[in-house]
Structure 1
Amino acid sequence: MLKTGLNIAHFKEHVKIIEEETVEYFQRWGDSGEKNLFEALSELIILTASSCLHGKEIRGMLNEHVAQLYADLDGGFSHEAWLLPGWLPLPSFRKRDQAHREIKSIFFKVIQKRRQSEETVDDILQTLIDATYKDGRPLNDDEISGMLIGLLLAGQHTSSTTSAWLGFFLAKDEALQERCHAELRAVCGDGMQPDFDQARRISHYLEYTGTSLTTAGGYTIPAGHQVCVSPTVNHRLQDTWVDRMEFSPDRYLNDNPAAGEKFAYVPFGAGRHRCIGENFAYVQIKTIWSTLLRMYHFDLVDGYFPTINYTTMIHTPHNPVIRYTRRDQGAARS
């Protein structure tokens, strides 16, 4: 159902939308300074995802109050939420549930207005409104609003965290950052504003981004039991990955280091449960960083590379402040 709205035709439109959102957002940074990169990218990921996936009506409603509701809802993604019953009267749980109700109420109004409109809009919201189950039943407003919330938050943590870490690795490696900037110019021309096809060609820095008993690794797995794979462990197996603890995007440019091993690289899962937002995530992160590298040069602040914040569900950078300087004004669109 959702896959039909996440197609190449839409992705081609998304590149322009994401680039415009990125330029507009980072104008507030000025020509130079030091800012919290993770905080900025978290906000930008929400804005770009809403613009691309929700439609113009919902994106137009993203004010400070709604942003706070998203933050409260986001606060529900905690270790406690995975271990404890959701009905416990914890402050974060109460804020999460209240935010969920308010956001759904906002979405209800947009959905009802769209249903009453005769305008034809090609976006995810319209896809959900027009969709039906196998028995022919259409989705109700509650189901649509739930999916819209899920679409926004499902990739928010991973995309914002990946984008932030990428920024610090580029700031740490001056040569790699300049190679990326040169590649942008070579692929996209002097304007360095990629379209969808060009974004797909950009390579260096964004490709990082049972019925019976079975025996695996000496362990017996009974029929019907589930097995979970840890990407953190899987992506550091020494018999698969060379220099497994190093940030080395070049490893993906030639032969796949995991060739012949179907599930060696699983950043988006695998099989029937593979993330349906994988291609959108690549489009989003590539476009954001293509735009940022066109606009700014980045450096670590006094050589500080963030440590890992293990208190969050997705391991974010701790104290993620980065130093930036605007590049030649002729290379960035004002």
Structure 2
Amino acid sequence: MATVAAPLSGAEPFTPAHWSQRLPKSALDHIPGDDGWPLVGTTLKVLADPPAYGRRMYARYGPVFRTNSFGIRNVNLIGAEANELVLFDRQGIFSSEQGWSPVLHRLFPRGLMLLDFEKHRADRRALSIAFKPEPMRHYAGTLNREIARRVESWGSGPMRFYPAIKQLTLDLAADSFIGLPFGPEAERINQAFVDMVQASVAPVRKPLPFSRMKKGVDGRAFLVDYFTRETLRRRESGGGQDMFSQFATATDESGTLLPIDEVVDHMNFLMMAAHDTITSSATALVYLLARHPVWQDRVRDELLALTGTPGAPLSFDDLARPQLTEMAFKEALRMIPPVPSLPRRALRAFEFGGYHIPAGAPVSVSPAMVHHLEEHWPEPDRFDPERFLPEQVRARHKYAWVPFGGGAHMCLGLHFAYMQIKILMAHLLTRYRIEVADGYEPRWQAWPIPQPRDGLRIALRALN
């Protein structure tokens, strides 16, 4: 059995030097799959249409197959059982840090998703203070105020929804997360995050002049400097209710403040994870409700019954009540999950699907594929929020639906995501009817986070 040395302990940060300690190529030869073309492997095939490529591989090889993308031979494990094995990770076999770091280490090191085991648990406990009821109530007020203002400004008529909601979520992140008013400083911060996200999947992985990676690295340098200065300032002033202030003043179990560089890295990662995934999820939900006006009307009626008046706030105390809205959102997350694939690295050898997977193997599971398996989801291409009625949820494998991941790395901000989407729908659907042209089906760019290539062309019609 091929093995790898010290990095498999999962106890030390991933560095580029670890890439040289990959498995010998022959260690995965017994796994069926596709090594792709010379030099580029399967990278171009995957990026061209990740869902279609995955379906072809699954149909040909079954739930265990090998690919060769971004210079890494990877074992793909498909199915709810695979999701449970890797995400719940009862035996501590899989490293999230060493799964994500080959892509993200240069831009988003030491975010929660790039930590493992006890370090991950300790930082997660410290950072969870930002999602307690009192701060969440504060965020709800900010979201209601700013979403109402922006949605009203959109007005009736045609629009491209994706860029509009992306700008809104960026501005909301600057306000709710950092406590910055909209303006030039927030715009500079937002652009730095956009540059970093685009660089995370740039084909050229070195920060060469004028490359996307160079813009991303420069964006990170700007944000490290900004968040370092702000962490010191907020510790001196006592901070505030925004998420960054909560992080800046968070302490570990001994009551010690987190190191400043760790606060900075957590904030960088959170901003990336929050605004891009919420943008994608909101866009998917708006498109699907536009395509299914009966469900749009049901969600609208539910929200109007709670708010009483078009455009009125959805209060923090009422957030658990719009169940149809939540079901529709969950179905949108099933059909177009914001993170299509979740990478890990095996720290120890394991068995799955009749195959021996050696220690050191890069592995991944795919929410996007499992969310469309007919064994869990009859007619998987049909939009049906009633799949999330309680009795149907109880009857289904717990890990058949994993848009927020699972286990120890379950998304820390998932309740914030639900809150933001419900408040957005309360303001949008009670003011407007959302329409798309007959037969309109946007092409979706699947990687790194799904988005419609044309920006999603919709029309808003004011309700009288």
TM-score normalised to structure 2 length: 0.63
158-167 vs 220-229, which deviates more?
Answer: 220-229
* 1:28 counterpart = 2:153: yes
- Out of 73, 82, 105, the position equivalent to 2:196 is 73
* SS at 1:200 equivalent: coil
Q: Give the deviation of 1:33 after TM superposition.
A: 1.5
Tell me which of the two structures has the higher relative contact order, counting C-alpha pairs closer than 8 angstroms and 6 or more residues apart: 1
- Measured in 2, the distance between the counterparts of 1:214 and 1:265 equals 24
* 1:265 counterpart = 2:401: yes
* SS at 1:45 equivalent: helix
2:129 alignment counterpart = 4
215-224 vs 312-321, which deviates more?
Answer: 215-224
- CA deviation map 1:281-307 (0-9, x unaligned): 111112112211122111004542312
- Over 3 Å counting, the alpha-carbon distance change for 1:239 and 1:293 in structure 2 is same
- Measured in 1, the distance between the counterparts of 2:190 and 2:239 equals 28
Count, aligned residues: 321
* 1:295 counterpart = 2:431: yes
* SS at 1:272 equivalent: helix
2:261 alignment counterpart = 142
Please list, as runs of the form range in 1=range in 2, the aligned pairs for 1:15-164 lying within 5 A after superposition.
15-30=140-155, 32-54=156-178, 56-57=179-180, 62-78=185-201, 80=203, 85-89=205-209, 91-117=211-237, 119=238, 121-133=240-252, 137-164=256-283
RMSD between superposed Cα atoms in Å: 2.7
1:232 alignment counterpart = 368
Letter in 2 for 1:299: E
* SS at 1:323 equivalent: strand
- Over 3 Å counting, the alpha-carbon distance change for 1:263 and 1:170 in structure 2 is same
- CA deviation map 1:155-198 (0-9, x unaligned): 22221111111111111111111111111122333355311232
- Measured in 2, the distance between the counterparts of 1:313 and 1:35 equals 24
Letter in 1 for 2:459: R
Contact kept? 1:188, 1:198, Cα under 8 Å: no
Q: Give the deviation of 1:49 after TM superposition.
A: 2.5
- CA deviation map 1:1-22 (0-9, x unaligned): 2112112332222222112111
Unpaired stretches in structure 1, ≥5 consecutive residues? 329-334
1:180 alignment counterpart = 299
* SS at 2:235 equivalent: helix
Percent of paired sites with the same residue: 27
Contact kept? 1:241, 1:257, Cα under 8 Å: no
- Measured in 1, the distance between the counterparts of 2:154 and 2:348 equals 58
Letter in 1 for 2:412: I
Please list, as runs of the form range in 1=range in 2, the aligned pairs for 1:190-209 lying within 5 A after superposition.
190=309, 192-204=312-324, 205-208=328-331, 209=333
Contact kept? 2:235, 2:249, Cα under 8 Å: no
- Out of 297, 301, 313, the position equivalent to 2:448 is 313
- Over 3 Å counting, the alpha-carbon distance change for 1:58 and 1:144 in structure 2 is farther
Contact kept? 1:183, 1:202, Cα under 8 Å: yes
- Measured in 2, the distance between the counterparts of 1:70 and 1:211 equals 31
Letter in 2 for 1:263: Y
- CA deviation map 1:190-245 (0-9, x unaligned): 35531123222212222334998654322233467564210011111211112212
